[in-house]
Structure 1
Amino acid sequence: MEAILRVCSGVRNRMAVRHGLVAGLAICLAVLLCPCEVRAQAVSRINGTVTDQSGAAVPDAKVTVTNVDTNVSQTSVTTSAGTYLIVDLNPGTYIVKVEKAGFKSFVDKNVVVVGGATSTANATLDPGAVTETVEVTAPEVALQTEQPEIGTTISETLTQELPQLVSGSNRQIDNFIFLAPGVTGNGFSHRINGGVDQQTEIMFNGVPEAFSETAGFTFWNQPPYDSIKDADILTGTFSAQYGLGQGVEQYHTKSGTNAIHGDAFFLYRDDTYLGAPGAYYDLNPNNVGKVDQPNQDIENNWGGSVGGPVFLPKLYDGRNKTFWFFSYDRYRKAVGQSPVTLPTPAELSGDFSGLVNPLNNNAPIPIFVPIAWKTTPSLIPAGCSVPASGAGSPGTQWPGNKIPTSCFSSVSAGLLKQFPIPAPSNSNVVNNYIPTTIPINLQTDLSVSIDHNLTSKQAIHGLYWRQKYPQPSNADWVNNPLSNAFVNTILGRGLDITYSNAISSRLVLTGGFLYVYQANDFFPTHLLSGQFPGALPSGLSGQPNAFPSIVFGGPSGGGWEPQSWGPGNGLSSTINHKTGYSYLANLLYVRGRHTMNIGVDIRKTHQDDFEAGGSTGQPGAAGLLNFTADITADPNETTPG
């Protein structure tokens, strides 16, 4: 354990102490039994110094800050040094009022508070009656003097007015972090100011996220885009309260107000009618074989948000006290599938007399009896009869370029029984079938938040969000670029609770809890019936085998081989569940111009990761079956093909 003491000149000094500290026996036991870090909680604040006309400090002045939208007020009194501090403020615009007997009241309007930062509103009191008022208007952009932090605040106005491309997913709350100088990469793998990949500190409403394996990756587990009030991106020299993260992303959610307010949105993309052909479309066909047209791509993203006071007629009036906010986001994508190459019914029965190579002037492709059968007769399938020499013997062409069904390998025979492979839809040698279904990608994201002011000194805030990203495969068995012929279901959810209590003008307690969960599961689209050679166990209860990947490869790149199909790279039956818990508490003490923060941060992560493996050329739980024309090529050719 270590203690870090930092003294800074200026309005306030800050101390961050990193060691096990407790406020009671229960917290003491938790700290002793759990690894923890001690730091301040990142909540929004307003501070300032109250002086008279001579510059002398004015102690015991009453300071009231009022949220313009909710009319919720919090109060404090100045210290002997004339300073004050009010914490746990929702991002928004505030009015600061200072009152002291013998002085005119001071009112500072348009004090803007952003998430996780401290706004300063100093006051100079003039002699006079307290009923008289001196009114000023604060600048819209306040200089951050509390911490030597380098960062960028992404405001609500910016996120709502700048355009976003609808492409492959709903709108993401981290899309705009790349506007901050020093942020590079993408949503999955980004770095802040040269930091290490996936080492970003993520915070929701001042509470850090505990996440295993891919820290900083929020794509599959985040509140809806419209629920975010602002985002603060810290790129350097941030204080110890942010822990060991190499860069900080702070997200602060919206709150309801005294008036019911909301919005709705609908974003639509249809490249068939709205997409302009590019320079190359006049040469290459699109994904359904049409020249001079963009690929068929239909996407829409719609939803809305609404919030207001909790009001139950004759039961509860939550105006000026309790507020709710709800946000919903729905995304849908439909993409036309590209043509694929299928074997003809004749080829499925072993008749390759019509097989030609379109890349070689449609020259016939001879199919030879595997020469390995000559030296290793055990490779010959049971029931297959081939002569030892002459026509049809190992190393010679099959008579008529036809393979008897009795000579099919047991693996091939087993696969052919699983699905009624459709007949080609045209007479082309390649790209002879256009899938008849359109795969759909659906994404749903919602959140609900509650803000309740217990008293003028205490407040509690709650946020819950839920994401579901199922990517079901289409009904056709062929591979397609969207689903990759496996079912990927992603489920994310989070629960964020924060609490504050201004015990006195000198002592403030804040605390927070954040729970996050993400499930990222892969399941094979097709389960095999029965067992046969070449099919590996699926790992799924009640289903012995999963459909393997079928890969066809030619000796020299080919181009005439059938479409590879099955679950893409053999990756299937994968369970990956992650859970994170964050507990945060902070005790802030103010004495004169000095401020002391003592806090505790406990994080726990858990991951259940049962992966079936699988990558290009590597089998997964479903298996990877490679077929190559080398086996049935002319053994006398210098270069098979």
Structure 2
Amino acid sequence: MQPFRRMAITLMVLFAPAGAQEFRGTILGRITDPSGAPVAGSSIEALNVETGIKIGSTSNDAGNYQIPFLVPGNYTVLVGHSGFKRIERAGVRVATNTQVTLNLALELGTATETVNVVASTPLLNTASADLGQVVEKNYLSSITVNLTRNVLNAVRLTPGVTGGGATVTGNNSGSFSIAGGGSTTGRIEFLVDGIPNTTAHNAGGVVFIPSIDAVEEIKVHTTMFDAQYGHSNGGAINITTRGGTNQLHGSTYVYKRWSDLNANSWTNNTAGLPKPPTDYYQFGYFIGGPITIPGIYDGRNRTFFATTLEKDRDSVQLTRRARTPTSAEKAGDFSQTLNRRGGPFTLYDPNTTVVTGGRATRQPFAGNRIPGSLITATGAAWMKLYPEPNVATSPALEALNWIGTGATVLPQTQISFRVDHQISTKQRIFGRYGMLRLKQTNDELMRGQYSVDPDGTGGLARENPRRFYNIGLDDTYTLSPSFLVSFRYGFVRKVQLNLRGGVGYDPSPLNLPQIVLANQTISGWPTFNIGERMMTLGSNYQEELNNQHSFQTTFTKLTGK
């Protein structure tokens, strides 16, 4: 038995025009005078209502302006020019990876006069063909609590999205498919704050999923999305995390499901088995606001933080059926064993094989009994590992005469921390760190269990500890009113250990050949796959380490008419 180790390290350096996996939005449009002529040199500012941060731009000779790299949120747009009244347009919502077109007409007057635009037609995205849906935090926080608080479950509200359905804030989310993208399951690009969040194996496994309270909104790109997602043939899911605001705010929550209120399963009731100890709980908090040090530093309108902690424990039922040999069969006596249709069958002696004219024939064992002299010491020892049948049924090939029940327990802890800071009117930065640690354990229904038909290996690992890390850094700089650049670095890591079956168990009682014992890198039971729907006993030891670095540079230049 050899351990399986895998390391995948991916380095991606992406230089692209505006929008290289960009999660932030843009406000753009045209400034005109009362006659409809373009007004050059107008001052346009986008004021974030929650943070008080202003991002400015200037209209060009054609009256066009663009304010890119806006964190999703609510904005007020301010427009000013000498000889004209000042315009204040409130209620502008900038969503994830969305371009909002806002054309404004100035009125003649003085700069001390202000025109408040309080009503307008809905703002449409006319600058991009990207089709998708945005799920905002207001909806995420108001949906009915159903104890499946994984934020990715919300993407199934988007037309054409199927699959998923993880019950905890884990990474069991690679099973989504988006009909509009024309892809098979598991071929979707997942991003957090525009940073790749998908490993390069396991059908595109998701690395880090923030808690619901840490998410500002989600955008599901279904079809006709930008070429920036060209390396995904099934659409993209872009998660934007929440940042702090000028007001200190937060939330705390506790969710609990009691096992005493759960009924036993139909399978267990039928087999006369007790109800397994299943339960669920989750608690956590979110806190965000300005970074302030009394008497030293006031971070309002400039520096903000947001942090979360979430812990949960999910215990679910683990029940498996299998065939196990009877006492007579362990001794080589199959005289009472029936075939799959309930009739007699014949057991042949492989040692009597004769090939005549290309056709092999064998002699049956007398009475369907294997002589004790033909049963090896290893085979006899292996048969002793199987428990006696506990389901009343006639012995037959593939007849499920054994059932075991227990629980799969998944405790986990997740933390995240984000800081946003405006260095000057020309430069702003943010950094984020997230970590998810979990350790899945499964009750050992049969000692040394490896897999069972038809359920396979799922839910049978003794221990499956996993750790996921996600880091994002961004620096956005305004070189001129029409030329901006954004540098972004991302790092994701997945570390996993899978201990299955008889890893670490003493193999000496199995009477194995000495050459097998001498070549084991890790002590344990070898794998014996007998078939006939019997539980496969054996060992598997697997380590995985996946690191992915990404560096993205985005340039935005406003030109033309």
The TM-score normalised by the length of structure 2 is 0.76
Candidates 167, 178, 182, aligned match of 1:191: 178
**1:72 maps onto 2:53 in alignment:** yes
What residue number does 1:502 align with? 478
For the 8 Å contact 2:160–2:180, the answer to whether it is kept is yes
For the 8 Å contact 2:420–2:429, the answer to whether it is kept is yes
Shift of 1:113: 0.8
What residue number does 2:441 align with? 472
For the 8 Å contact 1:515–1:580, the answer to whether it is kept is yes
Task: Give matches, 1:111-150, under 5 Å.
Answer: 111-137=92-118, 142-150=123-131
* Cα distance in structure 2, aligned partners of 1:297 and 1:144: 48
Candidates 529, 548, 552, aligned match of 1:580: 548
* Cα distance in structure 1, aligned partners of 2:526 and 2:330: 21
Unmatched segments (≥5 aa) in structure 2: 1-10, 165-172, 355-363, 395-399
Shift of 1:460: 0.9
**1:303 maps onto 2:303 in alignment:** no
Shift of 1:468: 2.7
Shift of 1:415: 4.2
* Cα distance in structure 2, aligned partners of 1:541 and 1:412: 19
For the 8 Å contact 2:442–2:463, the answer to whether it is kept is yes
Structure whose alpha-carbon radius of gyration is higher:
1
What residue number does 1:395 align with? 366
For the 8 Å contact 2:471–2:492, the answer to whether it is kept is yes
> Cα gap change, 1:397/1:62 in structure 2, threshold over 3 Å: closer, same or farther?
closer
C-alpha distance after superposition, 1:407-432 (max 9, x if no partner): 86322454478x7x888999999877
* Cα distance in structure 1, aligned partners of 2:299 and 2:490: 25
What residue number does 1:614 align with? none
Shift of 1:194: 4.4
Candidates 198, 220, 225, aligned match of 1:238: 225
What residue number does 1:601 align with? none
C-alpha distance after superposition, 1:536-556 (max 9, x if no partner): 9799986233453565638xx
Task: Give matches, 1:131-210, under 5 Å.
Answer: 131-137=112-118, 142-163=123-144, 165-166=146-147, 171-186=149-164, 187-189=173-175, 190-197=177-184, 198-209=186-197
* Cα distance in structure 2, aligned partners of 1:40 and 1:565: 54
**1:265 maps onto 2:253 in alignment:** yes
What residue number does 2:85 align with? 104
How many residues align? The count is 513
Unmatched segments (≥5 aa) in structure 1: 1-32, 377-392, 555-562, 594-641
* Cα distance in structure 2, aligned partners of 1:543 and 1:334: 30
For the 8 Å contact 1:201–1:215, the answer to whether it is kept is no
Shift of 1:205: 1.9
**1:545 maps onto 2:551 in alignment:** no
* Cα distance in structure 2, aligned partners of 1:75 and 1:528: 67
> Cα gap change, 1:195/1:294 in structure 2, threshold over 3 Å: closer, same or farther?
farther
For the 8 Å contact 2:271–2:391, the answer to whether it is kept is no
* Cα distance in structure 2, aligned partners of 1:221 and 1:204: 8
State percent identity of aligned pairs.
Answer: 22
C-alpha distance after superposition, 1:190-219 (max 9, x if no partner): 23414233443333323445641356542x
Shift of 1:99: 2.1
For the 8 Å contact 2:324–2:535, the answer to whether it is kept is no
Shift of 1:502: 1.2
> Which one has a larger percent strand, Structure 1 or Structure 2?
2
> Cα gap change, 1:236/1:51 in structure 2, threshold over 3 Å: closer, same or farther?
same
**1:452 maps onto 2:425 in alignment:** no
* Cα distance in structure 1, aligned partners of 2:254 and 2:136: 21
> Cα gap change, 1:149/1:475 in structure 2, threshold over 3 Å: closer, same or farther?
closer
* Cα distance in structure 1, aligned partners of 2:391 and 2:222: 57
For the 8 Å contact 1:477–1:565, the answer to whether it is kept is no
> Cα gap change, 1:348/1:337 in structure 2, threshold over 3 Å: closer, same or farther?
farther
Aligned Cα RMSD in Å? 4.3
* Cα distance in structure 1, aligned partners of 2:129 and 2:28: 16
For the 8 Å contact 1:524–1:546, the answer to whether it is kept is no
Candidates 505, 512, 518, aligned match of 1:528: 505
What residue number does 2:306 align with? 325
Shift of 1:96: 1.3
> Cα gap change, 1:276/1:553 in structure 2, threshold over 3 Å: closer, same or farther?
closer
Candidates 238, 244, 269, aligned match of 1:250: 238
* Cα distance in structure 2, aligned partners of 1:592 and 1:239: 21
For the 8 Å contact 2:14–2:553, the answer to whether it is kept is no
